[in-house]
Structures are given as C-alpha cells and as structure tokens.
C-alpha cells in the first residue's frame, strides 16, 4: 500500500512538472510571464489524498464541479483555494459562495438574482461562462447576450472578474484557437464598457488537451485535470 502511494505521488509530481513546463513554453511563445497564469488542478472524482499530493507539489488552486462532492474536500483542506467550475443551480448559489473563492459558471439571470444582495467577504470572484462554440451540450450564455448579462451583474452590485469558456474536444488544438480568441475579444469589449464592479481581469479557458493554445491566446486561468491526476484517480 505504501509503495502504491509513493508511486502515485511520484506520478502526480511528474505530471505537474510536465504541465508547468508546457505552460512556461506557451508563455514564452506568447511573450508572457508564467506568473500571469494560474494553474487550477481539476479535482472532481479525485480523493483528498491525491489532492494533498498535488498541494505538496505547490498547487494551491483546485476546481470542483459538484457541491456535494466538493464540500467534504474543502472542509478537510480549507487552506487551499477552491474554484467551482461546474454548472450551478440557483438554489445552491449562496451555498457555493460559502465554500469557494471563485465561481466560474455565472451564466444566466436567475443566478444573478440568487446572488444579489451578497457583498464583501460574502461573495467570491465571479466569472461569466460563455458558450462561444454554441454546442448544445455545454452551458453558458450565448456570446451575443453576454454584454446584456454583464450589465445585469453590474447592476446587481456583484463583482464580475472575467469570463470562462469550454472549447470543443478536438484532436487538432489549432481548431479551438478561434474559440479562445473570441473569448478574449469579448472580454475586451466588456472591459471597455467600464461597468461598475466589472474588471475583466480573468480569462478562464483551456483544459488538459488545449491549455497551451489557451495561454497563447491570453488565458489567465487554465483548468487541468487528467494531465495531472490521470483518468482514473
């Protein structure tokens, strides 16, 4: 058992090192500093032991997509920074705010209404999820409605810190470059509106298969799961 744990630790450490090297190379290609990009280890279905192993390698940010699964992990590892990256039900929005430091999936007026009235330490960073690809299987506001939703969020007094998107799964990652580029351009358009409480400092885009392209296109947060933990942890 101890040998298996040691092997698991070695594997996770090697995976993290590989991801960091790829991030650094992508930043070099884009003329950016790697310090501009936060690596979020997606820990859905991953146990606390493996999360602790990743944390021992310097990972500080972890992403979960189900509150029921996330809550016990967060309670056991409260010193880490936690991100909610899944679709959020309106009736669980306030509960999510009590658990995580960032919500990446604000995508509809009902969620804005559910969170209205929260302020200060009661509200985490909020990112609007935009369905740039238009895939019906993905959540997110349509790009043409994103500015309207940003105005609604601002009017509600909520801190909108940026945008998030999920690109289609493709073998050739160059095919998703336009998706990431469109999100960056949309972010710039919203930023230029100078809406109260809207900063557009964060671009959450890129996962295990395409995070290097996302970084080249301006990502400030990448959400990496299987490339760190493997597909069966």
Give, in degrees to the nearest 5, the angle at Cα 40 between 84 and 97: 25
Per-residue pLDDT tens digits of the chain, which is 233 residues long: 777 788 899 999 999 999 999 999 999 999 999 999 999 999 999 999 999 999 999 999 999 999 999 999 999 999 999 999 999 999 999 999 999 999 999 999 999 999 987 767 768 999 999 999 989 889 999 999 999 999 999 999 999 999 999 999 999 999 999 999 999 999 999 999 999 999 999 999 999 999 999 999 999 999 999 999 998 54
Name the residue among 130, 75, 129 with its Cα closest to residue 100. 75
Name the residue among 44, 23, 42 with its Cα closest to residue 33. 23
Name the residue among 70, 78, 135 with its Cα closest to residue 104. 70
Q: Are 146 and 190 a contacting pair, CB within 8 Å?
A: yes
Query: Is 164 exposed, middle or buried, given 0-12, 13-18 or 19+ CB atoms closer than 10 A?
Result: buried
Name the pTM for this structure: 0.95
The per-residue pLDDT for 233 is 42
The per-residue pLDDT for 82 is 98
Three-class SS state of 125:
strand
C-alpha–C-alpha distance, residues 162 and 198, integer Å:
8
The per-residue pLDDT for 57 is 97
Assign domain 2-229 to its CATH architecture: Alpha-Beta Barrel (3.20)
Q: What does the chain come to in residues?
A: 233
Q: Give CA separation, 136 vs 34, 141, 144, in Å.
A: 33, 11, 15
The residue ranges of every structural domain in the chain are 2-229
């Amino acid at each position: 058992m101890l040998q298996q744990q040691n092997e698991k630790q070695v594997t996770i450490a090697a995976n993290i090192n590989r991801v960091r090297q790829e991030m650094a190379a992508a930043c070099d290609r884009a003329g950016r500093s790697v310090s501009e990009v936060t690596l979020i280890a997606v820990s859905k279905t991953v146990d606390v032991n493996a999360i602790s192993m990743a944390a021992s390698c310097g990972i500080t940010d972890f992403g979960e997509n189900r509150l029921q699964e996330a809550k016990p992990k967060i309670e056991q590892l409260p010193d880490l920074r936690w991100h909610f990256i899944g679709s959020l039900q309106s009736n669980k929005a306030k509960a999510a705010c009590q658990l995580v430091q960032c919500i990446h999936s604000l995508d509809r007026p009902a969620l804005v209404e559910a969170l209205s009235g929260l302020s200060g330490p009661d509200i985490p960073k909020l990112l609007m999820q935009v369905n740039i690809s238009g895939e019906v299987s993905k959540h997110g506001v349509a790009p043409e409605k994103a500015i309207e939703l940003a105005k609604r969020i601002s009017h509600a007094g909520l801190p909108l810190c940026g945008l998030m998107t999920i690109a289609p799964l493709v073998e050739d990652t160059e095919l998703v470059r336009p998706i990431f580029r469109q999100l960056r351009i949309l972010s710039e358009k919203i930023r230029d509106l100078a809406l109260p409480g809207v900063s557009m400092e964060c671009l959450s885009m890129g996962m295990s298969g395409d995070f290097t392209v996302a970084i080249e296109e301006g990502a400030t947060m990448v959400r990496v799961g299987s490339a760190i933990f493997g597909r069966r942890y």
